[in-house]
Amino acid sequence: MSPKRACRVEQDLLGPVDVPAGALYGAQTQRALDNFPVRGQHTIGYYHALIRGLVHTKHAAALANRETGQIDKSTAGAILRACRDLLARDHYEDDFPVHHLHGGGGTSANMNANEVLANLAEELLGGKRGEYRRVHPNDHANLNQSTNDVYPTACHIAVISQWPALRQALDTLVGRFDTKADELQSQQRIARTCLQDAVAVGFGDLLGGYSTFLRRSAERIARTVEDLHVVPLGGTIVGRPEDVPPAYFQAIIPALRQVTGDSAYRRNETLFDAAQNLDDLVHVSHELDALARGLVKICQDLRLMNSGPETGLGEIALPAVQPGSSIMPGKVNPVIPEHVIQLCFRVMGLHLGCQTALDHGELDLNIWESTAVFGILDSMELLESAAGTLGDKCIRDMRVNVERNDRNVQTIIPLLTELAERHGYSRVSDVCKKAGGNLKRLRHLLEETFPE
C-alpha cells in the first residue's frame, strides 16, 4: 500500500479539495486532474508555447490593473515577478498538469495559471501556498479577465511563437531542394502525366517546382499566423467591453504589446464575433493541411522514382538508411519519405478536428479552442520534424540514375511531341493510327514519313 501523500485543504465553489501540499496549483486545477485523467496523454504543460501565452496574457493584465489602480502596487508587483519567474523556466509539466483537452472551454487552463501565479506571488509577499490571503487566483491574478478572452489570446500567442521554428525548417528544406536542383539541372528525365510518358525535362525543373510550392506554402502560413495578432483581450465573457473598467479596456492591449515585445497585437473590431468564432485559427490549420498534402505528393513522387531496383522506375536512388525486409536480403525501402507521409497524414487528421471545432461553436461562445490550438501546435511540430528529416536524410544525398534517365528521354512520346511541333499534330497522329499500337512499326513508319 502506497503511503498517503501530504495534502493541504483548499475551498472552492463546490467545497473542500485536497491538494498536494507542495503543489503550486490549487483547488480548481486539482478538480480538473480528478475529472480529466491524463492516462499518458499530453497535459497543457507539455505545450510550452501555450503556457507562455497564458503567462504573457496574465502579465499584461497585471500591468494594466496596476496602471489603472485596480490592484495595489505591492500585489501587482508580486504577480509580475511571478510571471517573470515562469517565463524564465524551461519545464512546465509539474505545475501545469491539466489534460490539454479538458472540458469547460479552457477554464481549467486559465485557473491553473491563476493558481500558480497566485501561489508564487503569495510566497513572495510572505504567505504560504494555498492561503491566498495576499494574492487570490480570481480576485487578483484573474482580475478584469475571463477565460473567454484570456484563453483565445493565449492560443494566438502560442501559435505565433511556435511558427518561426517551422518556418526555419521549411526554409532549410527549400534550400536543400534548390541546391539539388542546381546540381541536377543539366540531367534530363522523362516527365509523366497520368503516369504515362510525356516530354523530356530537367531534374532541376521538377525539384524547382517542389521548392516553389514550399516557398508559397510558407508565405501563406505566415499570412494566416500574422492575422492572429488580432486578439479578443478585454472582451471578457462574450464580448461586452462594459464588463471591465474603461481604463483597463484601453490599457490592456498596449500592455500586451509591451510584455510580448510585439507591437502588432491589436483588438478585434467586433468582440462578439471574436467570442463566437475561431475561423482565424482554422485558417492557419487549413494552410498547414495544404502544406502536408503537398509534402505527401512530393514524397510519393520520390517513392515512385526510387522504385525498383529492377522492375520499377529506378530513376533516382534515395539514401539507404536501414534494411528493408526481415526476410528478403538486399531489400531497401524508401523509409524516410514513408515516415514523412505518415507525419503528414496525422496533420490532415488534426485539421479535420480543427474544422469541426469551428462549426460546433454554439450561440455566443465557441468553447473548442483547445481542439484547434493543440491541433495546430502539434501540426507545426509534426511538419517541422517532417521538413527537417526529409531534407537531411533524403534530399541532401539523393542521387540520379544517369543511364536510366538518358535512356528514358529517348522513348517514343518525346519524339512524337517533337515531330508534332514540326509537322503538325494531325499528320503525326495519322502515322500513329497506322502503327496500331505496335511501337516497333511506329518507329519504322516515322522514319519513312519524316526522313531527317
Mind listing the pLDDT tens digit for each residue in 245-286?
999 999 999 999 999 999 999 999 999 999 999 999 999 999
Question: Using N-to-C axis directions, what is the helix angle for 439-449 and 425-435, rounded to 10°?
Answer: 140
C-alpha cell at 134: 495576499
232 preceded by a cis bond (ω within 30 of 0): no
Residue 209: its H or E element: helix 203-226
The pLDDT value recorded for residue 334 is 95
Fold of domain 149-405: Fumarase C; Chain A, domain 2 (1.20.200)
Task: Give the per-residue pLDDT at 451.
Answer: 84
- Per-residue pLDDT, 67: 97
Whole-number pLDDT of residue 3: 58
Nearest C-alpha neighbor of 195 from the set 290, 309, 313 = 313
Q: Where are the domains of the chain?
A: 23-143, 149-405, 411-449
What b/e readout covers 195-225, taking b as 16+ CB neighbours within 10 angstroms?
eebeebebbbebbbebbebbeebbebbbebb
Task: Please report the pLDDT score of residue 37 as a whole number.
Answer: 95
Interatomic CA distance for residues 198 and 411, integer angstroms: 9
Contact 141, 221 (CB under 8 A): no
User: pTM of the entire structure?
Assistant: 0.94
**β-pair partners for 365:** 362
Tell me the pairing of strands 7-12 and 196-202.
unpaired
Cell reading at 92: 512546465
Are both 23-143 and 149-405 of the same fold?
A: no
Query: In terms of DSSP H, where are the helices of 132-190?
Result: 147-184
Residue 399 bridge partners (DSSP): 317
Q: Give the H/E segment covering residue 66.
A: helix 48-67
In a structure prediction context, what are the per-residue pLDDT tens digits for the chain, which is 452 residues long? 455 779 999 988 999 999 999 999 999 999 999 999 999 999 999 999 999 999 999 999 999 999 999 999 999 999 999 999 999 999 999 999 999 999 999 999 999 999 999 999 999 999 999 999 999 999 999 999 999 999 999 999 999 999 999 999 999 999 999 999 999 999 999 999 999 999 999 999 999 999 999 999 999 999 999 999 999 999 999 999 999 999 999 999 999 999 999 999 999 999 999 999 999 999 999 999 999 999 999 999 999 999 999 999 999 999 999 999 899 999 999 999 999 999 999 999 999 999 999 999 899 999 999 999 999 999 999 999 999 999 999 999 999 999 999 999 998 888 888 888 999 999 989 988 998 988 899 898 888 898 87
pLDDT for position 416: 86
CA distance 234 to 268: 10
Third-level CATH fold of 23-143: Fumarase C; Chain B, domain 1 (1.10.275)
Which whole-number Å values give the CA distances from 85 to 8, 44, 131, 140, 256, in the listed order? 24, 18, 20, 18, 17
Point out which residues pair with 231 in neighbouring strands. 267
What was the pLDDT predicted at 405? Answer: 95
* Given the residues 108, 263, 307, 325, the one annotated as active site: 325
Q: Is 161 a catalytic residue?
A: no
Contact residues for 348 (Cβ-Cβ < 8 A; gap 6+): 289, 292, 293
What pLDDT is stored for residue 266 in this prediction? 98
Contact 335, 341 (CB under 8 A): no
Q: What is the pLDDT of residues 364-404, one digit of tens each?
A: 999 999 999 999 999 999 999 999 999 999 999 999 999 99
Burial of 18 (C-beta count, 10 Å sphere; 0-12/13-18/19+) = middle
User: 387 and 170 in contact (C-beta within 8 Å)?
Assistant: yes
Angle at 52 between CA 47 and CA 54, to 5 degrees: 100
